[in-house]
Structure formats: structure tokens, C-alpha cells
Structure 1
Amino acid sequence: MGIVNATPDSFSDGGLFEDPDAGLDHALRLVGQGADILDIGGESSRPGAEPVSEADEIARVVPLITQVRARTSFPISIDTVKPAVARAAMAAGASIWNDITALSAPGALETAADLGCDVILMHMQGEPRTMQAAPHYDDVVAEVCAFLVARADAAKAVGVARERIWLDPGIGFGKTLEHNLALLAALDQVVALGFPVLLGASRKSFLAKLDPAAKAPAHRLGGSLAAALAGASAGVTAVRVHDVAETVQALRVWEAVKRT
């Protein structure tokens, strides 16, 4: 899953692809590099991020989704917490709703059922503005798994088909370095819940805690690849990444070694 942020303030590439033409060029470049899914977002979820109005978010993502859909048939995911944005994105050509709040907004569950789209339910403790203030768990793996199962059950209860549901443990969302490492080490337990799993660890700040020299997000490629390979080894269905070409190459080598 290649990341296309149509935002001015995303932690890694904010402002680079806010213009629809720049976003289109980036999206097509990611497809050419081997992306299977394009994840388009119009609201940053980095720690400390401020909310964006519904109208502004739609204005950022719908023209880009429309252009991407006109140029490629690849699946498009809309990264949003807002039902109205998801609905507008689906009308423009998206087919997956990637929600960091696991369809917690009023009407989100019902909207997902009505749209009949795939949904990605992510775990987050708190909300983006404050989630990294003091995250705490008694057992992060058990609590994340329990939350994801509960949200999947809630989605199914309103009519979302089970085969449409994906899970995401939410690396970096309300979690310390130790929490993130514990989840990466236990990804097989998330996979064992029986749903497709998306892993998003690309360029995240916890990698810089392991390598203080990697202060800038773009300097975290090695750590991002290591996390992607950990996910692949555990059986995740997809990895959400900024560096598509490098990740595809790493996964091809990993797969070739496995086949030998």
C-alpha cells in the first residue's frame, strides 16, 4: 500500500503532494514502483495534528481520487475518520475505507455497511493531538487484539460483511517504543484473529528511538524495511509504506529466500 498524503502537515511528506497534479504524479509513480493499493489521505494523523474540516478534507482528496481513478484501475483507499469524506471518496472511485478510529465516529459503522466497501479498523489509544502524551497498557498485545475484535464485531453487527474487514494494530498511535516493539513481535497473534492485517510502520518516530541518527523521517528507510519484513514473516496481508520501490525489492528477496 503506497502512501499519498494530500496534506500540508503530514509528518514525513506534508505539503509535497497537496496539489492534485503533484499527488497524481506521485500516485502513478508508486504504481509504477509496484504498489498494489494507493492510500490517499487529506488529514494528518501525526502526533499533535489539528483536525481538518469535512469540507477542506473533501476538497483535498476528491479531485485527486478522481484523477487517479481516471488513470489507473488499482484499488484506492481513503484514509479518513469522517463518514461524509468516505462517502465522497467512494463516489469518486475509492473502494477501501482506512479509518484510524476503527469506525468510531457517529454514523461511521452504518455508513461503511451502506457503502459495502472494505474497511480497515485501526487501534489508537487517545487521539492524534494527545495520543503520545502518556500511553499506558497493562498488556498491549492483549488489549489491542481485544479492541480490534470488538470493533470487527461492531462492524459485522450493522451489516459490514466479514470478508470486507481488515485490522491494523496501529503502530505509533498512542504507543511507546516498547509497546510498538511488543506489537511487532506479536504480529502473528493479530494475524491469528482471522482477518487480513495491515501494518503501518513506515518512517515512524519509534524508529528514531532505536537509531537517534535517523532524526528526519526520510532517514528511516532501513528501519521501515525491517518492520515490513517482520510483518511479512508474521503473515500480514499488506504493508503501508512511503518507500514503495525499496519495500517491493526487499519483499521480493525475502520471498525468493523463502522459496529456496
Structure 2
Amino acid sequence: MTMIRTIGARTFDFDRQVAVMAVINRTPDSFYDRGATFVLDRAVESSLQALDDGADWLDIGGVPFGRGPAVSTEEEIDRVAPVIRAIMAERPDAVISVDTNRAAVARAAIEAGAAVVNDTSGLGDDDMAGVIASGNAHVVITHSVGPPRVEKPAAHFDDVVGEVRQFLVDRVERAENAGISRDKIVIDPGHDLDKNTLHTLEITRRLDEIASIGLPLLAAVSNKDFIGESLNRPQGERLPGSLAAMTACVMRGARILRMHDVIAAVDAARMCEAIMGWRQPAYLEHNMHPTHNV
């Protein structure tokens, strides 16, 4: 099956292209930015700046995955829909996903202009697949265990990669049965989502086994705890580890990277493309002429 996908106004060739998804959190309690883009104008400004910095698409979220105070469906819609509408008014060619596990929020976001629903519950809401199908949207199906925002037991898997892979295969089938065509599905193993650091490192090492499902694969590794615990680095000091993790994921089949530090991530993604022979260097000068042999 071809890996060429038209998403919103953009066409991506995921056989030869790596897309950088910029994270925009319209939340007061994001683990990364601690509410820096919670105010509407700031969220829109940061989104437009991310596009100017080279981001291929924007992921707009109104509720973090981790534990925290309850946020009503109405409040979540009020957080994400105005941002999406404002971005589309300024940049109608932007590719926007909404990070939500609620079908009602997904519906409102699609109506506002989102082309993708990034569902960290993996279609946990029984109405989600139908909403996405009827809205002719794309979906990112992510592995997690149980509902977001609640306390859960310690993570346990007998074979984390095998179990995550089977979950994704099953949820892809659910999506197709609901009317979502296969060429509108992206998969995400859910780095750190209901998994400990050892689980996430193993997923990263064996990511090619998940990529073998044959759908575009998203890796959301930016600034996560598995990087902090692996390197003994607090938030704010995890960029080098994030770039190393995203590069490892690209080399094992990831084609979409959900990242916070857009400029650095775009450079790393484009360098991966150059190394893989998928893109030409921006220019050629070094040792190209007899007088330039240094």
C-alpha cells in the first residue's frame, strides 16, 4: 500500500518524508510548558510561529493525558476549537490535529478545521470512530491502557511490543469497520503512556516491529520521562535526549514526530532524510572544486 497521504491541504510521502508535528498545549497544567500557551492569543501566536519555524503540522490539545483536575467536555471544546479556527483563518493550508479522546470534542474540532484526530485512548470512546468517519478526518490511533487522567496500577506487560502491536492491529480493524479508510489511519505506540521507562526503551528498540503493520507511524518522544530517567535530566534539559530518541525512531520506521522544540526537531528530521537519501543537501560546496580540498 502506498504511504502517500493527503492530509488537509498537504500531501506527504511517508516512504521518503518525515513530518514534524508541533505540540501546542492550551492547558494550564502541561508537563512541558506549564501553561505558557494557555491564553488563546498566545496559543495562536505559538502555532503560527511553529509553522514559520518549519513544522509540518500542529497538534492542539486542551487536556493533558496524565493525572489532573477534571475538565468538562464543554471546557475542552472551548479550549481547542477557537485556536483551530484562528489558525485556519490565518493559515488555511495548515495541517491541524486535535489531541483528544472525546468524540464530542473531535466533532467540534473537525468542524473548526482540524484534519486529524489524535486519540491517545485508541478509540476508547465508542462514538469516536463514527465521528471521525463522518467528518472524513484522519485518525492517530495510540496505544494506552484504560482512560486518561486517572491513577492506574504500575505498568505491566509480558511482551510490551507484542501487546502494543496487537492492540494497534485490533483498533485499526475497529476503525475500518466504522468506515474510516485505511489510508486515513496513523498508528502511535504511545511512548510512556501507561508504560515505564524500560517498556518505552524496548518499544523504541523494536519499533520496526510496530512499523511492520504498514501504516504511517507517529513517535511522541519529546521531553518525556523515559528520557529524563535514562539521562538523569529534569524538564528543560531533555532536548539532546529527545533528538536522539526521535532519530532512533526515524531509523526504525517512524515518519511523524510529535515534538516541542520545533527548530531543532525540523533540522534533525531533515538530516535524517538526507542521510537516508530521501532529500538533497541544501547546497554542495565542500570538496566539490579543485581549490576546495580542505
TM-score, normalising length: structure 1: 0.95
* Alignment equivalent of 2:74, drawn from 33, 42, 55: 55
Describe how 1:158-177 pairs up with structure 2 within 5 A: 158-177=178-197
Q: Which residue is 2:26 aligned to? A: 6
SS of 1:219 mapped into structure 2: coil
Query: C-alpha distance in 2, partners of 1:224/1:122?
Result: 19
SS of 1:3 mapped into structure 2: strand
Contact 1:132/1:176 (8 A) holds in 2? no
Residues 61-89 of structure 1, C-alpha deviations (whole Å, 9 max, x = no match): 11111111111111100001111111111
Describe how 1:126-165 pairs up with structure 2 within 5 A: 126-130=146-150, 133-165=153-185
SS of 2:118 mapped into structure 1: strand
Letter matched to residue 243 of structure 1: D
Describe how 1:45-84 pairs up with structure 2 within 5 A: 45-46=65-66, 48-72=67-91, 73-84=93-104
Q: Which residue is 1:204 aligned to? A: 224
Q: Which has the greater radius of gyration? A: 2
Q: Note if 1:86 corresponds to 2:106.
A: yes
The alpha carbon displacement at 1:51 in A equals 3.3
May I ask how many residue pairs the two structures share in their alignment? 257
Query: C-alpha distance in 1, partners of 2:276/2:103?
Result: 41
Contact 2:98/2:117 (8 A) holds in 1? yes
Contact 2:121/2:146 (8 A) holds in 1? no
The alpha carbon displacement at 1:254 in A equals 2.8
Letter matched to residue 84 of structure 1: A
Contact 1:49/1:128 (8 A) holds in 2? no
Q: Which runs of 5+ in 1 are unaligned?
A: none
Query: C-alpha distance in 1, partners of 2:133/2:159?
Result: 31
Q: Which runs of 5+ in 2 are unaligned?
A: 1-20, 281-294
Describe how 1:172-187 pairs up with structure 2 within 5 A: 172-187=192-207
Query: C-alpha distance in 1, partners of 2:264/2:237?
Result: 13
TM-score, normalising length: structure 2: 0.84
What is the root-mean-square deviation of aligned Cα atoms in Å?
A: 1.4
Query: C-alpha distance in 2, partners of 1:201/1:25?
Result: 24
Relative to structure 1, is the Cα distance of residues 193 and 131 closer, same or farther in structure 2, using a 3 angstrom cutoff? Answer: farther
Contact 1:75/1:94 (8 A) holds in 2? yes
Q: Which residue is 1:107 aligned to? A: 127
Letter matched to residue 247 of structure 2: L
The alpha carbon displacement at 1:127 in A equals 3.4
The alpha carbon displacement at 1:248 in A equals 1.0
Percent identity of the aligned residues?
A: 38
Contact 1:131/1:173 (8 A) holds in 2? no
Query: C-alpha distance in 2, partners of 1:211/1:236?
Result: 22
Residues 234-254 of structure 1, C-alpha deviations (whole Å, 9 max, x = no match): 121200000110011122223
Letter matched to residue 103 of structure 1: L
SS of 2:259 mapped into structure 1: coil
Q: Note if 1:256 corresponds to 2:274.
A: yes
Larger relative helix fraction: 1
SS of 1:127 mapped into structure 2: coil
Query: C-alpha distance in 1, partners of 2:55/2:272?
Result: 17
The alpha carbon displacement at 1:161 in A equals 0.5
